[in-house]
Structure 1
């Protein structure tokens, strides 16, 4: 089964190697040709492969809800426990750790539930601290951003289910290129900000508003990639643990969309 998603392709290859790590069945079953299956381990002959439970859509939904729950608890804990004087340093640290974990998970060839859960914990702390800073400046903004985020997610789910938006190979390649470009721009802007250089991308100017709108549109469309990844993973019969990787992709898009909506809404709050 071919897929245009390079990450899913790597996972599919790893899963296929896992399934094919056993000898093909001979006339008596699995093992060397001509050797009865009642002696599978004798003389080093491999035994029959164990049954592998494939991932399902329900698995992905359960894992996604679980990760969002972990992220929410971590965010609430960080909001309450981290002193105001340490918020900036703490959220920068959490952002860097979350970025490293996210890259490891994204480029890993094997599903690692422990890393995915660790990411949810760290990213939850980051989201909680950023949300607290915004809520302190603009009361009620967090609730608005949360409602808007899940509203966009619901709309994208309906559009994908109705096949209004399709994850064609060209769409997938284009989205990957655009997201890589946006990531590079945001990283460069972050480095400039550390040295006190204002690029105008995050200061509430018309340029900043336009950039946030672009990010929001791309973040919303990234759900299409996640939905396609889930669909292809189920169709390819990937092992159940890969549902953690699929859920991770959805959570990453939700967090990105939420943060961009939070920032955009803040631009229109005014000076009270």
Structure 2
């Protein structure tokens, strides 16, 4: 796994090769096996008990089949509804920050980082903390979008919203493409695929940290190593990594639904998707800013 939201989860992570016992569910919940008494023992052999059992069995047979909603298990609808709600909240907060308080983005960045780490490593999801993370990310994205747009527009007089709209459309298109590739089976999540993705993401993270240090210390100016042709190539690679991470996220959610994890983990799934979508949007925003700034 690559997304820490899913890889650190007991219910969305890869199946354990050791320690698994027959008759147990993910998360350590043991399935109780029915206990049967000896033939003819006690009152179970009486006519009245037999009639009661026959009536109960008939009622159970006639009853409609239990759905995942009845059993409180995770469904794709749960994930879609919660992800859509968090995305709507993110957009509303980002728009409000863009218009009224763009300078608050550093606060949103720090709060989002802290809340993101807390939520990523919690064993059970906290809807309140996940919503708080979404609000913080909305503040961060609203302000940082203006910063990137200002760099891209320069003195051309073009509207600031142009680059942001392009980044949003590109993010949604990539999300749809990744979902299509996953659903069609054209891209399969295999151990080799996840291992390659993990190595590539670690390399990208190291590169990004070195670039940030060099630019903040004044060794490099402007975009640092992210400028020019190299910056464009690195940006395209980063977009590809984020798209591949989305596919791995979809596979994790699929595994959770098939294993019948509790419905409350729809919050975890939605949070994980939001994390990847925010990363993807930022990569598109940076890439478009480099293109349009001519640096």
Matched, 1:69 2:91: no
CA distance in 1, matches of 2:27, 2:181: 35
**Pairing 1:233-272 to 2, within 5 Å after superposition:** 233-270=256-293
How many Å apart are 1:52 and its aligned residue? Answer: 5.2
Matched, 1:106 2:120: yes
CA distance in 2, matches of 1:159, 1:210: 23
Relative distance call for 1:26 and 1:188 in structure 2 (3 A) is farther
How many Å apart are 1:111 and its aligned residue? Answer: 1.9
CA distance in 2, matches of 1:73, 1:233: 30
1:180 maps to which residue?
Answer: 202
Normalised by the length of structure 2, the TM-score is 0.72
Normalised by the length of structure 1, the TM-score is 0.78
How many Å apart are 1:255 and its aligned residue? Answer: 1.1
Report the more deviating stretch, 99-108 or 64-73: 99-108
1:158 maps to which residue?
Answer: 180
Matched, 1:92 2:106: yes
How many Å apart are 1:184 and its aligned residue? Answer: 3.3
SS in 2 for 1:19: coil
Relative distance call for 1:91 and 1:191 in structure 2 (3 A) is farther
CA distance in 1, matches of 2:127, 2:202: 25
| Runs of at least 5 residues in structure 1 that lack an aligned partner in the other structure | 29-50
SS in 2 for 1:197: coil
CA distance in 2, matches of 1:102, 1:133: 22
CA distance in 2, matches of 1:19, 1:237: 12
How many Å apart are 1:18 and its aligned residue? Answer: 6.2
How many Å apart are 1:193 and its aligned residue? Answer: 2.7
How many Å apart are 1:92 and its aligned residue? Answer: 2.6
1:212 maps to which residue?
Answer: 235
SS in 2 for 1:117: helix
Aligned residue pairs, count: 239
Tell whether the 8 Å contact from 1:200 to 1:207 is kept in structure 2 after alignment.
no
Report the more deviating stretch, 127-136 or 238-247: 127-136
1:78 maps to which residue?
Answer: 97
Tell whether the 8 Å contact from 2:214 to 2:224 is kept in structure 1 after alignment.
no
Tell whether the 8 Å contact from 1:11 to 1:110 is kept in structure 2 after alignment.
no
SS in 1 for 2:189: coil
| Runs of at least 5 residues in structure 2 that lack an aligned partner in the other structure | 1-5, 17-24, 38-69, 154-158
Tell whether the 8 Å contact from 1:212 to 1:260 is kept in structure 2 after alignment.
yes
How many Å apart are 1:10 and its aligned residue? Answer: 5.6
Relative distance call for 1:8 and 1:163 in structure 2 (3 A) is farther
1:141 maps to which residue?
Answer: 163
1:35 maps to which residue?
Answer: none
CA distance in 1, matches of 2:186, 2:32: 44
How many Å apart are 1:196 and its aligned residue? Answer: 2.1
**Pairing 1:1-16 to 2, within 5 Å after superposition:** 6-9=7-10, 16=26
Rg larger for:
2
How many Å apart are 1:154 and its aligned residue? Answer: 1.0
**Pairing 1:39-54 to 2, within 5 Å after superposition:** 53-54=72-73
Tell whether the 8 Å contact from 1:8 to 1:233 is kept in structure 2 after alignment.
no
Q: 1:116 aligns with which of 130, 134, 144?
A: 130
